[in-house]
């Protein structure tokens, strides 16, 4: 069953994206790109003997930052290695802390069987959204089977904009939306990297928006994360846009620098985002 929570900031709950910790197991020195951090995180959490302690420590850090909602990243609970024991333990630890899970975030494979395993993890941790991607061959060649899995598990697939450069490209991938089962998880930072106005993307995507990863990046053409308002993404206008389209889902604070711990900045982002969401009217187009 999907867990629900009344949003404390207007209509939207604010969550912490698990992938903010991508460089955590590398002592915040990720020199070989995303794959290095992904592998180190999988290696850290996979062993059954230490999973409970390590997963609990991470969740406690998130709660200490003021978040009561956590997007579980696949590297922290991967469908490729998660056993029933991992899943039961993860759900218990989340429940003990009162943490809701807006999405299970990452990649969900390229075959129907792999996708089914990812769905099983999402079900186990009590989320209703798979936020990330599947291989094109699965989405195009086995779409009916993919949708059948989503219906059976009462899940939605929110495709993240990697490598789509525009909302038009994403809409082509979403297609007919499969009766509301397939939509998009807007990563504002990746639209910034591609040089597309992320707030405009949200407005164009409209009802297809199922989740929002609110991120700023320092420059077009690169994907170096930075504090809200210091980069090229109009983050405040993105918040206005989600209110304009009537989006009531979670907004994930996403901030994934490769060379330092982003925890304090994520807490500051949460406070800023909470203030914007609490304003009585849309905040306009200023950053």
pLDDT for 155-195, tens place per residue? 999 999 999 999 999 999 999 999 999 999 999 999 999 99
pLDDT at 137: 94
Token couple for 46 = 């996979």
Q: State the Cα–Cα distance between residues 15 and 48, nearest whole angstrom.
A: 26
Nearest to 99 by CA among 132, 135, 49, 65: 65
- Structural domain boundaries of the chain? 14-278
pLDDT at 279: 87
Q: State the Cα–Cα distance between residues 175 and 98, nearest whole angstrom.
A: 36
pLDDT at 282: 53
pLDDT at 119: 98
Which residues of the chain carry a pLDDT beneath 70?
1-10, 281-287
Judge residue 98's burial from the number of C-beta atoms within 10 Å of its C-beta, 0-12 exposed, 13-18 middle, 19 or more buried: exposed
Nearest to 174 by CA among 189, 158, 162: 158
Q: State the Cα–Cα distance between residues 149 and 256, nearest whole angstrom.
A: 31
DSSP letter at 28 equals: T
pLDDT at 281: 65
In terms of phi and psi (left: phi > 0; alpha: psi -120 to 50; beta: otherwise), the region of 193 is alpha
- pTM for the structure as a whole: 0.94
Q: State the Cα–Cα distance between residues 247 and 11, nearest whole angstrom.
A: 8
- Residue 270 sits at the vertex; the CA angle it makes with 268 and 273, to the nearest 5 degrees, is 110
Give the right CATH number for 14-278 from 3.30.70.20, 3.20.20.150, 3.40.630.10, 1.10.760.10.
3.20.20.150
């Amino acid at each position: 069953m999907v867990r629900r929570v009344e949003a404390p900031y207007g209509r939207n709950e604010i969550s912490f994206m698990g992938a903010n910790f991508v460089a955590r197991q590398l002592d915040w020195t990720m020199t070989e790109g995303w794959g290095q951090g992904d592998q180190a995180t999988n290696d850290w959490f996979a062993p059954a003997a230490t999973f409970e302690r390590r997963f609990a420590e991470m969740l406690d850090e998130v709660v200490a930052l003021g978040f009561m909602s956590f997007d579980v990243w696949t590297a922290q609970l991967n469908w490729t290695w998660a056993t029933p024991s991992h899943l039961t333990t993860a759900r218990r630890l989340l429940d003990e802390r009162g943490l809701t899970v807006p999405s299970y975030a990452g990649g969900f494979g390229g075959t129907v069987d792999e996708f089914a395993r990812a769905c099983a993890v999402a079900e186990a941790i009590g989320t209703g959204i798979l936020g990330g991607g599947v291989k094109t061959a699965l989405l195009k060649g086995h779409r009916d089977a993919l949708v059948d899995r989503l219906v059976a598990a009462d899940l939605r697939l929110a495709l993240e904009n990697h490598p789509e450069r525009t909302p038009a490209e994403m809409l082509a991938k979403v297609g007919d939306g499969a009766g509301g089962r397939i939509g998009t998880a807007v990563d504002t930072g990746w639209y910034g990297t591609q040089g597309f106005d992320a707030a405009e993307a949200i407005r164009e995507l409209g009802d297809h928006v199922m989740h929002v990863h609110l991120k700023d990046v320092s420059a077009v053409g690169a994907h170096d994360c930075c504090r809200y308002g210091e980069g090229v993404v109009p983050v405040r206008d993105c918040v206005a846009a989600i209110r304009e389209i009537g989006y009531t889902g979670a907004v994930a604070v996403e901030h994934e620098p490769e060379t330092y711990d982003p925890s304090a900045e994520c807490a500051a982002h949460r406070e800023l985002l909470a203030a914007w969401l609490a304003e009585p009217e849309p905040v306009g187009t200023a950053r």
